[in-house]
Amino acid sequence: MTQNKGQISTLPIDLNPQYLPQHVAVIMDGNGRWATSRGLPRIAGHRQGARTLKELLRCCKDWGIKALTAYAFSTENWRRPTEEVDFLMLLFERLLRRELTQMHQEGVRISFIGDISALSKSLQTEIERSMLETLNNQAIHFTVAVNYGSRNEITQACRQVAELVQKGELNLEEINENLVEQQLYTAGILEPDLLIRTSGEMRLSNFLLWQMAYTEMYFTDIFWPDFDRAAFHQALLSYQGRDRRFGQVKPSLSA
């Protein structure tokens, strides 16, 4: 994503501004393959992937999309080679240090979801600082999932609800979807309207399983580092062609 650097890009004319997703989620897959296919180490793919994410964030903001959530590191990603895990953690920390001021100036609110207590103390400090500093920003809500796993998130929500019952602060009959939702990392964040997964893989990989019950899915063969503005435009065109019924039957015009 190198187009329009430093200047605001306008929404392509074939996209309807009234029917844009409010919240886009991305599974940034294919960094390793992108690098290997160029004879580069896998970490070069992650570095380029981070640039792609930054450009996508700017593009979403310019085009009026209010939230972007990115799956940066799953609870399963610890099983990768230690050097790769260490590099990713360093990359997150370095990016936060380097980009925070500019993101803050651009009105980006940053949140993290996942169990951050397992991360290094210095990364936790940067994460907490970025969330606190940008808390009142309104231009776009950027959420990064780190050490995130949906099953783990739902399990800990169950535990918190059970604890309320055990303490006598909640009756069984009061447990409903809203209450469970409030215990998730994403409490207060709108559900994604569109999920994009790159690199040809077609699965959710333990990402936002509860939150994506009615999310539209878009899969593309493009490797994440190559997912540019043109590719995002295609994803949005596909989204705008969908008929979202949320389980209902659309009233027919003849009825």
Structure token pair of residue 190: 């709108």
161 binds ligand FPP (CB under 6 A): no
- The torsion of the CA quartet 191, 195, 201, 203, rounded to 10 degrees, works out to 20
Q: Is 29 a catalytic residue?
A: yes
By C-beta, is 157 or 235 nearer to ligand FPP?
235
- The reply to whether 174 sits in an annotated binding site is no
Structure token pair of residue 98: 């380097």
Which residues 202-241 are close enough to bind ligand FPP by CB under 6 A? Answer: none
Structure token pair of residue 88: 């990713």
**Which position among 24, 26, 28, 184 is part of the footprint of ligand FPP (CB under 6 A)?**
28
Q: Is 77 a catalytic residue?
A: yes
**Which position among 56, 65, 67, 95 is part of the footprint of ligand FPP (CB under 6 A)?**
95
- The reply to whether 200 sits in an annotated binding site is no
- The reply to whether 177 sits in an annotated binding site is no
- The reply to whether 224 sits in an annotated binding site is no
Q: Is the dihedral of CA 85, 23, 225, 132 positive or negative?
A: negative
Which of these is catalytic: 4, 14, 16, 77? Answer: 77
Phi, psi of 37 (to 5 degrees): -65, -15
Structure token pair of residue 110: 């940053």
Which residues 29-88 are close enough to bind ligand FPP by CB under 6 A? Answer: 29-33, 46, 49-50, 53, 70, 72, 77, 88
Contacting residues for 244 by C-beta, under 8 A, at least 6 apart: 214, 216
d(CA 29, CA 216) in angstroms, rounded, equals 18
Phi, psi of 41 (to 5 degrees): -70, 155
Specify binding-site residues for Mg(2+).
29, 216
Q: Which residues are annotated as a binding site for substrate?
A: 30-34, 42, 46, 74-76, 78, 80, 197, 203-205
**Contacting positions for ligand FPP (CB under 6 A):** 28-33, 46, 49-50, 53, 70, 72, 77, 88, 91-92, 95, 144, 199
- Active-site residue numbers? 29, 77
